[in-house]
Amino acid sequence: MQNKNVKLSKFESALFDMRMLFEQYGYSQYKVSKFESYDLYAKNKAFLVSDNVLTFTDTTGHLMALKPDVTLSIVKNTVGGNGLQKLYYSENVYRTRGGSQGFKEIMQTGLECIGEVDLYSTAEVLMLAAKSLKAVSEDYILDISHMGFISSLISENIPSEHTKELLELISQKNVAQVEMFLTETGVDADIKNALLTLTSLYMPLADALEKIKPLILNDAMGEAYDELKTLNSLMERYNIKSLYLDFSVINDMRYYNGIIFSGYIKGISDKVLSGGRYDNLLKRMKKDAGAIGFAFYLDTLEQLVNTSSGFGIDTLIVYDENVAPEVVVSAMEMAVSEGKTAKAVKKIDTDIKAKEIVDLRGEQ
Amino acid sequence: MKDMINVALPKGRLGEKVYDIFEKCGYDCPSIKEKNRKLIFENEEKGVRYFWVKPSDVAIYVERGAADIGVAGKDILLEYSPDVYELADLKMGKCRMAVAGKNDFKDDRTRTLKVATKFPNIARSYYNSISREIDIIKLNGSIEIAPILGLSDVIVDIVETGKTLIENDLKPFETIVPISARLISNKVSFKFKNAQITELAKKIAEYCTE
């Protein structure tokens, strides 16, 4: 029986819509266990959002961890080489968030595309990311960036011991300090100019492509540009508009290579979605395959203002000791069979807002 | 209706100077100068809403999105490394983060160095970078007294003119990093109010480089 009066919370309805969406595009659900050997995370600490992992020893004395991340577990268990695997998951992960030191249980859903990743599947993942955001709110933004464009520019011209500092400044959009940094390092004027433009750049993808075209200085940048351009035209085909190019979206070069993206929703002050192409992670794990995917942090939806109707319940049924239980049963069942939400109480609680009150007291 | 930009300003002398810059860049809000106990001031026409908060809290308001933009010292940004965009250097409130000690202080590298500071993260990363083993003593104020009483060997603190140090027979030895006030922006607000914030940041940056 479909009960229209039970309103799904934003959280539940978004999760439901996303799962529908993923299934429609042929992604199958992948279940992973809550625990994972700590070794996996120790080897790939830099891939995790926060390096705090909740650990415990199992009955055989092995050091185990409560999963802080799902992607690593999925990648570990996939065998590369045969076509393209399309998976989605929705799991709880355990890690710290933001500045707070305590561990949080974070509900996360996402998808991974592992195998021979081509332009079509890249576009499909990007489109699904945009539509997942749209399932929550029309007011969303998907920022996209390309590691290929920026990493070749940096690795060819900046000494590797300084890259971390530079990437950090770029991720803060700190134009003034990037300029100072580059003057100190003494790079060529055209490279400096390119990096400064990329740092401050923030505009819709279609317009941004025009702007970055003259900055192409090597083959890798040219390839990255072509990929972004094709993706842009494919996104137009999907009718997805809120796509912005932003090179402050940067992830670890050791894991990510191609496009990376993050999603935002108006009214939520955290990143709600994060994803990208991470072939380098598979290479590190000795798997011969490409991979792209994203994760959606459902816990951030708490921040959205709840727009409930104000009524907690449809029918409040009030009874006392003098009312026979049978009477209460039939009154309740009647309300429920009409598809209403009902609650039987002995006292009218002012905290409960009901559309109607059925008072059984004094009916004897 | 145009979205308002929420601006967190640091309470105190620096904040008043910062407001003057905003005013000169066309984001005035006359009610802010009135003497009353109000906490929030807005000018709907210009699309800005100001509020005063403790200087060290500005970054928190901005990081969490309660304020879209704010002005905070580089010292705070280095100490707490909030996840925000740093859009402009206001080139004011200039000072430096420095190591200071008693006039006759000599670093004995065979011992662990005791460092008193309000900025443990900055101190730790500085001494890590020069591979010096230290013991951090976190204080909340009157740092200068620590080396005098022998609580610590040196202090890591903000030095503006160095006057307080001289009066207490202390002197700065090394500058860790120069400090000035920065315009910061919440990362999500920057995206959803992009046109307004970019315009404001550009005006402020231009004014400050003049």
Q: Domains of chain A: which residue ranges?
A: 10-306, 309-359
Phi-psi category of residue A187: left, alpha or beta, with phi > 0 → left and psi -120 to 50 → alpha: beta
Which residue does chain A place closest to B89, by CA atoms?
Answer: A176
Q: How far apart are CA A237 and CA A216, in angstroms?
A: 26
Among A172, A174, A269, beta carbon nearest to B186: A269
- Is there a contact between B152 and B115 (Cβ–Cβ < 8 Å)? yes
CA distance A67 to A73: 8
Residue A34 half-sphere exposure, CB side, CA atoms within 13 Å? Answer: 10
Which chain B residue shows the shortest CA-CA distance from A175?
B87
Q: Could you give phi then psi for residue B124, rounded to 5 degrees?
A: -60, -45
In angstroms, the CA B79 to CA B58 distance is: 13
- Chain A interface includes B207 (CB < 8 A): no
Answer whether B87 touches A (CB < 8 Å).
yes
CA distance B170 to chain A (A): 32
Distance (Å, whole) CA A26 – CA A331: 46
Residues of A whose CB is below 8 A from B85: 172-174, 248
pTM of the model: 0.82
**Closest residue on chain B to A140 (Cα):** B192
CA distance A278 to B185: 29
Give the pLDDT confidence score for residue A308 in this predicted structure. Answer: 53
Substitution target in B188, B193, B197, B198 with the highest count of A β-carbons within 10 Å is B188
What is the fold, at CATH topology level, of the domain defined by A10-306? BirA Bifunctional Protein; domain 2 (3.30.930)
Give the burial string for A197-208 (b: 16+ CB within 10 Å, else e): ebbbbbeebeeb
Residue B87 with chain A: CB contacts under 8 Å: 173-175
**B112: contact with A, CB 8 A cutoff:** no
Give the count of beta carbons closer than 10 Å to the beta carbon of residue A187.
18
Is residue B181 over pLDDT 50?
yes
Distance between CA atoms of residues A227 and A248, nearest Å: 19
Answer whether B191 sits within 8 Å of A143, measured CB to CB. yes
Tens-place pLDDT, residues B8-20? 999 988 889 999 9
Low pLDDT (below 50) residues in chain A: 1-3, 364
Query: Quick check: B200 contacting A, CB < 8 Å?
Result: no
The answer, for B83 touching chain A at a CB cutoff of 8 Å, is: yes
Q: Which of A175, A248, A269 has the CB atom closest to B188's CB atom?
A: A269
- Average pLDDT over chain B reads 91
Distance from CA of A167 to the nearest CA of B (A): 13
Residue of B153 and A251 predicted with greater confidence: B153
CA distance A67 to A103: 12
Token digits of residue A126: 């990007």
For an interface test with A, give the residue of B187, B193, B204 to mutate (most A CBs within 10 A). Answer: B187
**pLDDT tens for each residue of B61-105:** 999 999 999 999 999 999 998 999 999 999 988 999 999 999 988
For A264, the closest of B80, B85, B188 (CB atoms) is B188
The answer to whether residues B133 and B143 touch, using CB atoms and an 8 Å cutoff, is no
How would residue B34 be classed by pLDDT, with cut points 50, 70 and 90?
confident
CA B197/CA B188 separation, integer angstroms: 11
Placement of tokens 């942090």 in the chain: A297
Q: How far away is chain A from the Cα of B176, in angstroms, using its nearest Cα?
A: 16
Which tokens sit at B173?
Answer: 């030895």
Give CA–CA dist B77/B17, Å, rounded. Answer: 20
Write the pLDDT tens digit of every residue in A68-114: 889 888 888 877 666 788 999 999 999 887 666 788 888 899 999 99
Concatenating the DSSP letter of every residue in A3-58 gives -TTSPPPHHHHHHHHHHHHHHHTT-EE----SEEEHHHHHHTGGGSSSS--EEEE-
Residue the block writes with tokens 């050091």: A63
Q: Any chain A CB within 8 A of the CB of B194?
A: yes
Helix B194-209 × helix B13-24 angle, to 10° = 110
Kindly determine whether residue B188 and residue A99, on different chains, have CB atoms separated by under 8 Å.
no
Cβ(B122)–Cβ(B73) below 8 Å: no
Looking at residue B187, what is its pLDDT? 93
Whether residue A98 and residue B80 make contact (CB cut-off 8 A), yes or no, is no
User: CA-CA distance, A71 to A75, in Å (whole number)?
Assistant: 6
CB-side exposure of A36: number of CA atoms within 13 Å? 26
**B85 contacts A173? CB cut-off 8 A:** yes
Mutate to test the interface with A, among B191, B194, B196, B208 (most CBs of A within 10 A): B191
3-class state of residue B172 by DSSP = strand
pLDDT value for A1: 40
A contacts of B190 (beta carbons < 8 Å): 173, 202
The predicted pLDDT at position B120 comes to 95
Which residues in B lie closer than 8 A to residue A269 (C-beta atoms)? 63-65, 186, 188-189
Residues B106-126 pLDDT 10s: 888 888 999 999 999 999 999
- Cα of B122 to nearest chain A Cα, Å: 15
Confidence at residue A142, expressed as pLDDT on a 0 to 100 scale: 95
**CB under 8 A, 24+ apart: contacts of B105-114:** B105/B147, B105/B153, B105/B154, B105/B173, B107/B153, B113/B153, B113/B154, B114/B151, B114/B152, B114/B153, B114/B154
CA angle B60/B63/B65 to nearest 5° reads: 105
Pair A250, A168: CB distance under 8 Å: no
Report CA torsion sign: A304, A309, A314, A317.
positive
